[in-house]
Structure 1
Amino acid sequence: MSQISYKDAGVDIDAGNSFVENIKPLVKSTQIPGVIGGIGSFAGAFELPKGFKEPVMLAATDGVGTKLKLAIDSGIHNTVGIDLVAMCVNDLICNFGTPSFFLDYYATGKLDVAAATNVVAGIAEGCRRSECALIGGETAEMPGMYSQDDYDLAGFAVGVAEKSEMDRVSLVRAGDKLIALPSSGLHSNGFSLARKVLFEKMGMKFEDEFDGKPLIETLLEPTRIYVKTFKEIKESVVALAHITGGGIVENLPRVLPQNLRAEIKRDSIKILPIFELISQHVEMDEMFRAFNMGVGMILVVKDKDVENVLAKTDGYIIGEIKEGKREAVLV
């Protein structure tokens, strides 16, 4: 009777071992003070940072969504890892947390060592941009769950905040200004709609030229990471809102108290060309619910600190906090 191996069932242990060897130098490149040990143990270890009076650990998790479909179909795998890190660490800083370490989960139908290595190279780059360490992860080869070329990603970021600094909502006041930090593109939201419009409705191709380069390059432009900017201007910021799924109108109210509203001047928003293209077939109100529209992060800043924040960032004023029902409105 013939015998069946794990590899015959679709799981290649040797490929997995080769992948781990490939990523060891990538992981090492992200190490910062606080990392204890390296990859290969049963858990990653990180020493609690010193200097906090009442340290609070914060955690955030996210994925990349259907942007992965474009990476898989185009064979460009080295940017979505940056997206994965960005979606997590950009959330942490909104609670005034400083990212410390990151872990990833990579699941696939059949492990392509080269593609997976490129994905982790992107994750490592995202960690370096975030000044946090990649201390572990998990790779799962799951034939029957995913088609052979498909993979999915999830990420987990952990950081530390001072307990007294976490409640930002109570600090927001009428008269505070709203400063937009530009996005780099779609970031990691709205791709199901974008794909339907661009490829099904408009019949565009990856290689079509758009805004001076192939369309696929614009679509796969990685999510901007705002951690270093946050660290530089932290003392001048009242609150931050990461503009992800739901857009400005659904994310900005998360930093508002019940008696205040955010008024944004729609004409002041510097809408990126890719959103103008998509809006040819999507109502503008729907665009603002599905996409960031060129605004990746919104800062609430006191009048006296506006000049300093504008001088240290590429941000620009888009609105103001006013008395009223808790909501964000475009006027």
Structure 2
Amino acid sequence: MNNGNAYQEAGVDIKAGEQAVELMKDAVAETYTPNVLDGIGGFGAAYALGSEYRNPVLVSGADGVGTKLLLAIAADKHNTIGQDLVAMVANDILAQGAKPAFMLDYLAVDKMRPKVVAEIVTGVAKAAKSSGMALIGGESAELPGLYAPKHYDLAAFAVGVAEKDQLLNPSKASVGDVLIGLPSSGIHSNGYSLVRHVLGIKTDQDFLNLSSDEQDILLKPTELYAETVWPLVSKKLIKSMAHITGGGITENLPRAFSEELSAEINWGSWPILPIFNKLQSQGNLSTEDMLLTFNNGLGMILIVESKHQEEVLSLLSDYQQDAFVIGNLTSRKQSGVVFKGASPW
């Protein structure tokens, strides 16, 4: 007869899970707004929309972080990867014209390490709060045998709210509208399989052999745009927008306007971060590869009516948000996105 805890002997430590919850509890609670009706520990989380909306629409999104996780694991640095997770869902919801409201996270680990789990979830909570979202629930699962030692995976589901007539719609964009680009903080959370291939990062030690500056650049978390862009949406100054993620500018920007239009973008109108030039040079990547894989320095692109351009730029400046006028919409050309000027590559 087994006199110990059979589940623990099988590799699942319930006590460690309880300790992790205790360590992260305060950070999670700090994200709560008056709309949150139930706290951590229940079987489900309740969120009240309130009576301020006339015809509310819920906008949802789900995403993960991708293989950037491997670099965080290699560095044993887990306090920023949560922001990457939050940004992927919050920025997508924002791009629809909805205000991020609440999210749930899913964390699966090989072994429950309370301090590491708390570090990850605390990072998620801080970023959620910065985006105006309540982290109202989630799941932390210990799955021995499924993940390699010290490995884990992260995913999120989030919901935003908007008035139905406030939602952004590609059909609202028209010829002459201005494209305003908001800078990325770095690679964000897309293209890391190619990054690791180009930089020869096959093992944890390969990553640790990079300089501390290079490691920091590769782990720099995805920019959060909700705090600075939502006020513009609420003032109805934005017609449409695109979150530049996997597929880069060439695939994401055309989702923000109709097929009768093209985005004409001027090379040199925004700063391309040095990491992208290094990846292009070291990997001998084509311009097409760069545009289809990376954000190349632009994390979000706003489509604004020309008469609102100066007001939008002024408000963004007030919010300490850098912004660049990168081009405009034209009638349809040979493709959805057309670049003018000398290519940097």
Partner of 1:323: 331
1:47–1:200 Cα change, 3 Å: closer
Contact 2:74–2:208 under 8 Å retained in 1: no
The runs of 5 or more residues in structure 2 that have no matched partner are: 317-321, 341-345
Q: Secondary structure at the match of 1:320?
A: strand
Task: Provide the C-alpha distance between the structure 2 equivalents of 1:167 and 1:303, rounded to a whole number of angstroms.
Answer: 17
Contact 2:178–2:309 under 8 Å retained in 1: yes
Partner of 1:117: 118
Partner of 1:305: 308
Task: Provide the C-alpha distance between the structure 2 equivalents of 1:304 and 1:63, rounded to a whole number of angstroms.
Answer: 37
Partner of 1:257: 258
Q: Secondary structure at the match of 2:118?
A: helix
Task: Provide the C-alpha distance between the structure 2 equivalents of 1:255 and 1:50, rounded to a whole number of angstroms.
Answer: 30
Contact 2:106–2:139 under 8 Å retained in 1: yes
**Matched residue type, 2:111:** K
Partner of 1:170: 171
TM-score (norm 2): 0.91
Contact 2:175–2:330 under 8 Å retained in 1: yes
**Matched residue type, 1:315:** A
Partner of 1:51: 52
**Matched residue type, 1:318:** I
Return the offset for 1:173: 0.7
The answer to whether residue 102 in structure 2 is matched with residue 101 in structure 1 is yes
Contact 2:74–2:207 under 8 Å retained in 1: no
**Matched residue type, 1:232:** P
Return the offset for 1:171: 1.0
**Matched residue type, 1:256:** F
Partner of 1:84: 85
Return the offset for 1:167: 4.6
1:88–1:6 Cα change, 3 Å: same
Partner of 1:215: 214
Q: Secondary structure at the match of 1:72?
A: helix
Q: Secondary structure at the match of 1:269?
A: coil
Q: Secondary structure at the match of 2:157?
A: strand
Partner of 2:293: 290
Task: Provide the C-alpha distance between the structure 1 equivalents of 2:247 and 2:188, rounded to a whole number of angstroms.
Answer: 13
Task: Provide the C-alpha distance between the structure 1 equivalents of 2:168 and 2:228, rounded to a whole number of angstroms.
Answer: 20
Task: Provide the C-alpha distance between the structure 2 equivalents of 1:150 and 1:200, rounded to a whole number of angstroms.
Answer: 16
Return the offset for 1:205: 4.5
Return the offset for 1:200: 4.5
Return the offset for 1:309: 1.4
Task: Provide the C-alpha distance between the structure 2 equivalents of 1:304 and 1:155, rounded to a whole number of angstroms.
Answer: 38
Task: Provide the C-alpha distance between the structure 2 equivalents of 1:120 and 1:77, rounded to a whole number of angstroms.
Answer: 9
Q: Secondary structure at the match of 2:8?
A: coil
Return the offset for 1:82: 0.7
Contact 1:207–1:216 under 8 Å retained in 2: no
The answer to whether residue 8 in structure 2 is matched with residue 7 in structure 1 is yes
Q: Secondary structure at the match of 2:199?
A: helix
Q: Secondary structure at the match of 1:77?
A: coil
**Matched residue type, 1:28:** A
Q: Secondary structure at the match of 2:158?
A: strand
Partner of 2:65: 64
* Matched residue count: 327
Q: Secondary structure at the match of 1:119?
A: helix
TM-score (norm 1): 0.95
1:179–1:51 Cα change, 3 Å: same
Task: Provide the C-alpha distance between the structure 1 equivalents of 2:2 and 2:163, rounded to a whole number of angstroms.
Answer: 62
The answer to whether residue 238 in structure 2 is matched with residue 237 in structure 1 is yes
Contact 1:110–1:142 under 8 Å retained in 2: yes
Deviations 1:137-171 (A, max 9, x none): 10111111111210000011111111112252121
CA RMSD of aligned residues (A): 1.7
Task: Provide the C-alpha distance between the structure 2 equivalents of 1:147 and 1:104, rounded to a whole number of angstroms.
Answer: 21
Q: Secondary structure at the match of 1:45?
A: coil
Task: Provide the C-alpha distance between the structure 1 equivalents of 2:271 and 2:51, rounded to a whole number of angstroms.
Answer: 40
Return the offset for 1:269: 3.2
Task: Provide the C-alpha distance between the structure 2 equivalents of 1:266 and 1:320, rounded to a whole number of angstroms.
Answer: 13
Q: Secondary structure at the match of 1:46?
A: coil
Partner of 1:37: 38
Contact 1:89–1:130 under 8 Å retained in 2: yes
**Matched residue type, 1:245:** G
Partner of 2:343: none
Contact 1:207–1:214 under 8 Å retained in 2: no
Return the offset for 1:312: 2.3
**Matched residue type, 2:33:** I
Return the offset for 1:49: 3.4
